[in-house]
Copies of this chain bind each other. A is one copy, B any other.
Amino acid sequence: MKTTRAKPKDEKKPSGKRDRNKEKTKQQILAAALELFRKHGLEGTTTKQISQKSKIAEGTLFNYFKTKEDLALYFFQKETSDLIKWFAKEERLQKAPLPEKLFAIIHRQLEYITPYEDFIGAVFFRSLQAHSKLSPLSLESQELRLKYLRFVRDVLQQAEENEEIPRVGEMGAYAVGLFYVGIVMHWLHDGSEGKQKTLALLDRSLNLATKVLKKGGWDW
């Protein structure tokens, strides 16, 4: 095996063009879809438009993504993984007190989704639902949630170790996640300039929660 001519750039696998094309096509689709979703929202974007903009046949789209929602879900996958990467680099933030950390994290998430407001309104809540066999989102969205919860749990664990807060364990991460859902809900309704109201709410509630936690009584 691996007999014939040597290729200019060495590659682990004898294949090449195929994989490269595949990846390129996938990226084309994602770029086109995100652009269209941002401009016209989820329902306002047809798979035909996406495939045209990606310069592929309509059928091809479904070789890459099982459903249009799957495609939309990719946005949240990227959002989550970008968030985690970003946080890993923010050294100053790592040492900040917990409420500041959480504020920065959620604030960044809100900034990230800002250009996609309409789209988010239509998809965010669906991205939460898992299981229901009929929904094609099930498995992937499940994984996504877990990834996010793990990230939050790590942040909280650090605060536990620093004795900033008592033990909150898994449930703490779950609570923060739910809190985030509530914040996004508020954010979607928030008509104030620059969504100030949501940011104020975010700040107040995080401080309150931390104060309450510090005060103890968390005999879970």
Contacts and interface: CB of A to CB of B under 8 A. Distances in A.
Nearest to A42: B134
Given A182-B174, A217-B211, A217-B215, A129 B124 contact: yes
Interface in A136-190: 174-175, 178-179, 181-182, 185, 188-189
A2 interface: no
Nearest to A186: B174
Copies of this protein chain in the complex: 2
Contacts of A212: 212, 217-218
A131 interface: yes
**Which has the most chain B C-beta neighbours within 10 Å: A121, A132, A179, A204?**
A132
Interface in A199-220: 204, 208, 211-212, 215, 217-220
Contacts of A44: 134
Contact of A132 (B118, B133, B181): B118
Given A129-B122, A178-B182, A188-B129, A134 B41 contact: yes
B128 A126 contact: no
Interface string A71-112: 000000000000000000000000000000000000000000
A125 interface: yes
A130 interface: yes
Nearest to A132: B121
Contact of A43 (B41, B122, B135): B135
A157 to B, nearest CB: 20
B43 A128 contact: no
Contact of A189 (B130, B133, B211, B218): B130
Nearest to A138: B121
A131 to B, nearest CB: 6
Nearest to A215: B217
Closest 4 CB pairs of A and B: A121-B132, A125-B125, A178-B182, A43-B134
15 contacts: A42-B134, A43-B135, A118-B133, A121-B129, A122-B132, A122-B135, A124-B129, A125-B126, A131-B188, A178-B179, A178-B182, A204-B220, A208-B218, A208-B219, A212-B218
